[in-house]
């Protein structure tokens, strides 16, 4: 599946689940944007994917490394253990951010300001920038300015602590950064399971590829069915889910 459709499916999944989470409009927007980015995150195991190209040669080299250690494209990052690693990583970055300074932040130079405190914001800042930039790149929004928009978005998200907002989802209470990452990754796996390739959900225990559709209905990436059926359905579904999420209790 194309990065564009993975990003849309991540956004759609979050928007569709939002009425269960009782999130405010600002957190809904943040969650949708983060889930769109997380929707392309599993393809970090492919050096040509939109997320691998986000930070130029830095993310490209990292992606090459991930491909080497995760068993190749569509292996560990497209399996249940991979989703757990991504989500745990996001939660760890959030927890580290939480252990540092809290908004409102002291201005540099004032007595309460200390550079060491701001290291707590760095892992979450990099991760949030990566997700926003990957979503913008996959959806072809912002062009060359996409990365700058992503950095500004990540800075604003951290400034307001929006990524740390604890959301009730079923029996769990999860910070938005972890919830959006998990939802986006699951949406990605579901999308790839609609294609001929499938996903090895139990890797590294088993190489078996899981599919959600019988073989004749499976989608071939970037072919007519994806452009003229999957993409419009995702776009319409997202618009409907967002409308539904901001008009609860109709």
29: exposed, middle or buried (Cβ count in 10 Å: 0-12, 13-18, 19+): middle
**CB 121 → Zn ion: shortest distance, Å?**
30
Can residue 45 be called a binding residue for Zn ion (CB under 5 A)? no
Applying the rule CB under 5 A, the residues between 205 and 234 that interact with Zn ion are none
Total residues belonging to the chain = 250
For the chain, what is the radius of gyration of the CA atoms? 18
- 49 — alpha (psi -120 to 50), left (phi > 0) or beta? beta
**CB 93 → Zn ion: shortest distance, Å?**
22
**CB 191 → Zn ion: shortest distance, Å?**
7
68: exposed, middle or buried (Cβ count in 10 Å: 0-12, 13-18, 19+): exposed
Q: Which of 43, 163, 165, 226 binds Zn ion (CB under 5 A)?
A: 43
Can residue 193 be called a binding residue for Zn ion (CB under 5 A)? no
Give the strand pairing for 166-169 and 172-175: antiparallel
**CB 77 → Zn ion: shortest distance, Å?**
8
**CB 195 → Zn ion: shortest distance, Å?**
9
**CB 43 → Zn ion: shortest distance, Å?**
4
Residue 5 or 43: the one with the smaller Cβ distance to Zn ion is: 43
**Binding piece for Zn ion, criterion CB under 5 A, among 16-24, 110-118, 190-198, 206-214:** 190-198
Which of these, 30, 14, 19, 1, lies nearest to 163 by C-alpha position?
A: 30
CA distance 125 to 96: 11
Residue 34 or 41: the one with the smaller Cβ distance to Zn ion is: 41
Tokens, residue 113: 């300001």
Interface with Zn ion: number of residues (CB under 5 A): 2
Can residue 192 be called a binding residue for Zn ion (CB under 5 A)? yes
Can residue 165 be called a binding residue for Zn ion (CB under 5 A)? no
* Contacting positions for Zn ion (CB under 5 A): 43, 192
């Amino acid at each position: 599946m194309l990065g564009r459709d993975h990003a849309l499916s991540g956004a759609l999944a979050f928007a569709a689940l939002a009425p269960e989470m009782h999130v405010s409009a600002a957190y809904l927007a943040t969650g949708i944007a983060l889930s769109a980015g997380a929707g392309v995150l599993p393809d970090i195991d492919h050096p040509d994917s939109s997320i691998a190209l986000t930070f130029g040669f830095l993310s490209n080299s990292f992606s090459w490394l991930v491909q080497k250690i995760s068993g190749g494209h569509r292996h560990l990052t497209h399996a249940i253990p991979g989703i757990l690693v991504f989500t745990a990583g996001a939660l760890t970055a959030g927890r580290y951010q939480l252990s540092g300074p809290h908004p409102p932040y002291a201005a540099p130079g004032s007595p309460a300001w200390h550079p060491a405190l701001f290291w707590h914001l760095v892992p979450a800042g990099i991760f949030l920038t990566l997700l926003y930039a990957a979503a913008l790149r996959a959806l072809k929004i912002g062009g060359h300015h996409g990365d700058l928009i992503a950095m500004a978005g990540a800075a604003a998200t951290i400034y307001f602590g929006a990524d740390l907002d604890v959301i009730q989802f079923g029996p769990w209470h999860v910070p938005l950064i972890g919830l959006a990452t998990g939802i986006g990754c699951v949406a990605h796996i579901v999308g790839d399971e609609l294609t001929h390739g499938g996903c090895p959900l139990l890797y590294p225990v088993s190489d078996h590829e899981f599919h959600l559709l019988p073989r004749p209905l499976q989608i071939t990436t970037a072919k007519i069915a994806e452009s003229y059926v999957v993409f419009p359905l995702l776009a319409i579904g997202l618009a409907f889910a967002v409308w539904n999420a901001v008009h609860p209790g109709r």
